[in-house]
Amino acid sequence: MKVSPKAIEFESIEDLLFFVRDYGTGNMLRFLNPISDNSGNVLVKEEVQVKESALTRLKEIKGQYTPEFKVKLTKELTGQIQDKISEKIVFQLKQTDKKFLKFVYEENTFNYKGIIRNSLSNKKHLLALFKVYQVNGPFFKHICELGLLSLGVVLIPDALKYKMLRRYSFLGGIFMDIVRVNSEHWNRPFPEDSEKTRIAKLCANFMQKLDLPEFVCSAASNHVPLGLQDNSDPSTYSAKKLDKEQPDETFFSDLLLDDGESDSSSDEEEEEGADKSEDVLRELLTDSMKIARYIHTVSSFSADKDYVMEELVYYLAYNTTRGYFNEVLANPLVNLFKRFEDNVKRMRKLAEIEMQCLHPPAAWAYPKPKASQVLCKNKVWDCPNIVRGWDIHVISAQEAFGWVGSSLPADHYPKCKLEEDLEDTQESEDSNKKEKPGP
């Protein structure tokens, strides 16, 4: 299949009929080329309305003509594709196994379907997603989840009524992996932060060719959450440097041809609020994509799928309190999960205690999430907070995955005086439980 700004080219009548039925195009089709039989007789003229019955007839006489169908992208047909691709994106919310993503959309009341549809008013954006859906369904699911997460992050905060923020956040999320469509690496965790950053920049560079705004591309280039790589399984990667991912832009080569027409239409009724400078949008988009990528990575590669949603809430609360995520975006997201409220408060308190460290980030509440001790993971022996003679023996290593860069190898560590604050927190929690009335 070839997809250009002017036409979609099919090489079999079966593929064309499937497209007509899947997208409900009815009698919207017109060919840019006549369909002639092997003797040169015209079966279907160019630029005339093609009925589905004519296509059925072409299927019956398959082999008696050359199957080259150049379907003209009229305004009507493009609008129908826009409607259907939007529906297919929203449908991922039913299909996804990402519980956190499902919950976020179950709890919101915004017209996210309208935002998604209107986000695809640019022809290049729309046709790029159309081709991905037609050729690589699993990858389409992957980028839809990223786009829906990125949109979900900015849907919730009441304070974020910035014009076009939601549209751009969705577009940034759904396109930030787009050029990886032919890669075998997109469904694996990155082996290291440097590789993650390299791929993000390559994808962002290609996003510019799809006419996404510069500040959206800049946000995509700089969004990657670092410090998660310690949890990667080395066996999933080749030890050879040659195995490095090489995104291939040729998948979209026909789409990048200049048709000399304007690609976008203006429809901004779903977005209200004051205009903001590109710098402000860039910062917010970078943060929303960072959170979306983090949630998607942890959801996809967590060892314990049954409890990953609960773990994500704790991870977000903890890492936001430590300043890793934008609290304006992350805290409203965490607050959606009322059933985890008590543990969320505890995770925030653990982060606050650790941030009192005299040699940050050495203090580490252990074991998370129900920490009972505070140790010095950097072994700063001359620190006045070190408690001598009470070393803590960590038997099982704690990996960095959800806690962002805070891996803790099995070893002996000195105890930290900040553990006293942890004990005060536990006493306060126990006191509150006693005061609560019974059922």
Separation CA 321–CA 354 (nearest Å):
10
Comparing C-alpha atoms, which of 173, 69, 85, 194 is closest to residue 134? 85
Q: Which helix (H) or strand (E) holds 167?
A: helix 165-175
Query: What mean pLDDT is predicted for residues 50-57?
Result: 93
Residue 367 preceded by cis peptide, ω within 30: yes
Q: What angle do CA 66, 69, 70 make, to 5 degrees?
A: 135
**In the predicted model, is pLDDT for residue 409 greater than 70?**
yes
Helix (H, G, I), strand (E, B) or coil at 364: strand
**In the predicted model, is pLDDT for residue 428 greater than 90?**
no
pLDDT tens, residue by residue, 166-182: 999 999 999 999 999 99
pLDDT-based confidence at 262, cuts 50/70/90?
very low
Write down the pLDDT at residue 311.
87
Separation CA 249–CA 247 (nearest Å):
7
**Are 4 and 255 a contacting pair, CB within 8 Å?**
yes
Write down the pLDDT at residue 54.
94
Of 76-85, 286-295, 305-314, the one with minimum mean pLDDT is 305-314
360 token code pair? 């940050």
Write down the pLDDT at residue 374.
94
Comparing C-alpha atoms, which of 132, 15, 32 is closest to residue 72? 32
For the chain, give the percent of residues with pLDDT over 70. Answer: 86
Query: What mean pLDDT is predicted for residues 277-300?
Result: 93
pLDDT tens, residue by residue, 16-25: 999 999 999 9
Residue for token pair 């050029």: 179
**Are 180 and 203 a contacting pair, CB within 8 Å?**
yes
How far from the centroid of its chain's Cα atoms is residue 86's Cα? 16
**In the predicted model, is pLDDT for residue 103 greater than 60?**
yes
**In the predicted model, is pLDDT for residue 270 greater than 60?**
no
Helix (H, G, I), strand (E, B) or coil at 286: helix
Under DSSP, the state recorded for 386 is: E
Separation CA 279–CA 48 (nearest Å):
48
- State the average pLDDT for the chain: 86
Separation CA 103–CA 309 (nearest Å):
9
pLDDT-based confidence at 307, cuts 50/70/90?
confident
**In the predicted model, is pLDDT for residue 80 greater than 70?**
yes
Domain borders along the chain are 2-73, 76-234+246-256+264-301, 314-435
Q: Is 292 exposed, middle or buried (0-12, 13-18, 19+ CB in 10 A)?
A: buried
Write down the pLDDT at residue 231.
41
pLDDT-based confidence at 367, cuts 50/70/90?
confident
Q: Which helix (H) or strand (E) holds 169?
A: helix 165-175
366 token code pair? 């252990």
Question: Please, what sign has the CA dihedral across residues 333, 338, 342, 343?
Answer: negative
In this prediction the pTM is: 0.83
Write down the pLDDT at residue 178.
95
* Furthest-apart CA atoms within the chain: distance in Å: 96
200 token code pair? 């993000």
Residue 404 or 304, more confident: 304
**Helices and strands: H and E segment counts in the chain:** 15, 11
**In the predicted model, is pLDDT for residue 406 greater than 80?**
no
Of 16-20, 47-51, 91-95, 255-259, the one with minimum mean pLDDT is 255-259
Separation CA 258–CA 133 (nearest Å):
22
pLDDT-based confidence at 341, cuts 50/70/90?
confident
